[in-house]
Chains A and B, each alone.
Chain A
């Protein structure tokens, strides 16, 4: 499987302009490539394409040269000229700019051969990083809207729904409900007017798959929406995008305009008589709006408060009409299923979890980025095989899956398969697909506090269990991390967590205690150490740690003394220095500056 086959035979320089790479300066790099090629008078034979995310975000800006797929990571402006010169001279590559898995390792020439890509299976991301997301012709050349055409020409809505059901596709937003079933409910709901909503309110910290899909291949999402609309009998759709994603909004708007111009959205699509229009709504910054009923309230112009279900949106959603809400990744799967068939899709994955899943692999991992893997792969294969293991060759301590609604898997459980049921059994969830790797420097109590802080702040306040329960839980966890923990706190947390889970109104509250519960379950001894011994083994809890200078390593260079903002370090030149625990504000500036790694946090 090579994700980077060229659209045409000519040479194409693909520069990633996804948010990650763009923030690293890839837009300027793309301009520089264009200028260099124009200067060489090679405009006819070489094309520069600004693509969406390639996946290996930690190595951005990423440049891939087709037809061979030569891969250049971390391309800076000063490398452009040499790459172009070599390319135009004999079609070759500059080997010193190639990717190396380690400093002294042999370079890897082709992107497909990088270990990060080897085990991936790109279905949703098949055009991501290949096409120019702002040019519909690029997408059309690689099969965009073929699924919509096939559905309109050969399938009636009922058999279309049956096909999606048979594929076994489950919602990728978190809950994992069968997509075809959701469509069936919405189609069967009485009412003339129905809506399709694409949920792109990706709020989980550490998750960026939806953003990357929209930025890299917006047409894949629009096509999925149009097919869904045809299936359920809707003529109007909304994409609700998180406000923090301006590039995604921009590309989506361009894509909608281009699709309308080509007759792929709007009136009488492809001459079939079917009409479907899409509007974009930007969120205004509320995590709870990822919950479907809150999202609907937000589109209606209200405060984003969730409602009691039933009635489910499938029967009474936007403006009280039957509404089908699907996540971005879910919708981006649809066209592939229609074109390749339900059986082909169902053959990927495991018995209860079909197809592929995209994960945002981040944290203390060597290669962070966006990965799409078949369901059923083990977490270990993903973290070690694709992600290259923990940064700096350390062992990973835990993997947090599913963001603030998910849980932490300890190292011993990394052989758990990525499946809805298997992950639920160990306390985590597939969720939206955030996967954060942590090592011994992360305190699990502090990590739980981090997630709880997030959910507590984002609790909308409508129901008491979530509003008050998460607040009380946060107070307890915080006092534990501050060395004020009391005997019985762990039990109190467990009880509160159970109450909040069972009594909260929506998914936010029902899952908010998960990070606390899983860390207590797998790392109970860390909680106990904090409470009983006032000890944080990771040295992450500021109140429980202090800095010391290793006299054996200290050369007395006084760099730390110079950088200490409060004058807490003293010592004679060329003699080991000392830190005053009373004066130290634990800012860590000394650690940053010590040339001999002599200062430790203990």
Chain B
């Protein structure tokens, strides 16, 4: 986490609306072990854990911000930064490792131009490794959002990454042209 700590930062202006998490805070208000589920649901709402939301959670649950921050940074599923439209997760489980995950990873890293743990500047892709997704029979495996790609090799992995890039470009192109159409000018 390279984000600067701004504990007690009076100038922090709210960049995200906090209304969506109110019902979540309400639901777990009486659950003493509810911090992790609250963070999980908050992340579902925003796609990551915005600092403002963490502060609001700390306040609502009457615990120090440092405790919330501690939990949020301990678990690998929590993200403090915005993530790409598509999250590519290459499995580094044992079976995948033995069957070529390192080569597959290298191919995807080259194709997407980001390292494991990074997000592309245009917020199109986040690349991650995952310890084991538990479908070792299909190794080596990578996951893109809900979709699984199994029995990969370098060539397949490159092709998939290239296709994904085209998909994102196409989706964004469609979205921007839609926006232009709606523009009266």
Contacts and interface: CB of A to CB of B under 8 A. Distances in A.
Q: Chain A: interface residue count, which band?
A: 35 or more
Contact of B134 (A211, A450, A587, A588): A211
B176 interface: no
A278 interface: no
Name the residue among A24, A207, A301, A447 with the largest chain B CB count within 10 angstroms.
A301
Contacts of B50: none
A362 B136 contact: yes
Interface residues of B, number: 42
Contacts of B93: 205-206
Interface stretch (A171-179, A280-288, A348-356, A470-478): A280-288
Interface in A190-218: 202-208, 211
Nearest to B94: A206
B32 A587 contact: no
B134 A368 contact: no
Contacts, number: 140
A434 interface: yes
Interface stretch (B12-20, B67-75, B119-127, B167-175): B67-75
Contacts of A300: 32-33
A115 interface: no
A436 B95 contact: yes
B155 interface: yes
B95 A363 contact: yes
Interface stretch (B3-11, B80-88, B146-154): B146-154
A284 B134 contact: no
Interface in A340-381: 360, 362-364, 368-369
Contacts of A286: 74-76
Name the residue among A206, A245, A304, A442 with the largest chain B CB count within 10 angstroms.
A206
Given A24-B138, A360-B136, A284 B39 contact: yes
Given A244-B130, A587-B154, A301 B36 contact: yes
Given A19-B134, A205-B132, A206-B132, A298 B36 contact: yes
A58 interface: yes
A589 interface: yes
Contacts of B76: 284-286
A593 B93 CA distance: 26
A281 B37 contact: yes
Given A436-B94, A587-B154, A284 B36 contact: yes
Contacts of A400: 94
Nearest to A370: B137
A233 interface: no
A365 to B, nearest CB: 9
Contact of A302 (B71, B92, B136): B71
B78 interface: yes
Contacts of A403: 94
Smallest CB-CB A-B distances: 4 pairs? A57-B137, A284-B75, A206-B94, A301-B35
20 contacts: A20-B137, A57-B138, A204-B132, A205-B92, A205-B94, A205-B95, A243-B77, A282-B36, A284-B77, A285-B76, A301-B32, A301-B33, A303-B71, A319-B32, A362-B94, A368-B137, A438-B98, A442-B98, A460-B74, A592-B153
Interface of B: 32-37, 39-40, 70-71, 74-78, 92-95, 97-99, 103, 106-107, 110, 130-139, 141, 148, 150, 153-155
Interface of A: 19-20, 23-24, 57-58, 60, 202-208, 211, 243-245, 281-287, 298-304, 319, 360, 362-364, 368-369, 400, 403, 434, 436, 438, 442, 447, 450-451, 454, 458, 460, 565, 587-589, 592-593
